[in-house]
């Protein structure tokens, strides 16, 4: 994940999100929207833009199940 400030001990090193360190990423935002993203679908390094079409099919809505849950 990325750390950019917020405290006095920040050393200005930005750590990139490394998909080789996880299998899936679960995202829950303040308004209740949720995404379950497989690591192999991750792109970028310091941020995700979840509101657009790129991850739309991976968004959880009431009553649906993620692809990974179906394969377990």
Which of 43, 44, 46, 39 lies closest to 13 in space, CA to CA?
46
pLDDT score recorded for residue 65: 61
* pLDDT(33) > 60: yes
**Cα distance between residue 36 and residue 23, in whole Å:** 10
**Cα distance between residue 61 and residue 32, in whole Å:** 10
**Cα distance between residue 53 and residue 72, in whole Å:** 26
The predicted-structure confidence for 54-65, as pLDDT tens digits, reads as follows 888 898 876 666
**Cα distance between residue 61 and residue 22, in whole Å:** 23
pLDDT score recorded for residue 16: 78
């Amino acid at each position: 994940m990325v750390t950019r400030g917020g405290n006095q001990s920040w050393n200005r090193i930005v750590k990139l999100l490394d998909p080789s360190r996880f299998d899936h990423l679960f995202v829950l935002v303040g308004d209740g929207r949720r995404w379950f993203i497989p690591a192999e679908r991750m792109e970028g390094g310091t941020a995700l833009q979840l509101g657009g079409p790129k991850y739309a099919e991976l968004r959880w809505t009431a009553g649906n199940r993620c692809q990974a849950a179906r394969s377990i």
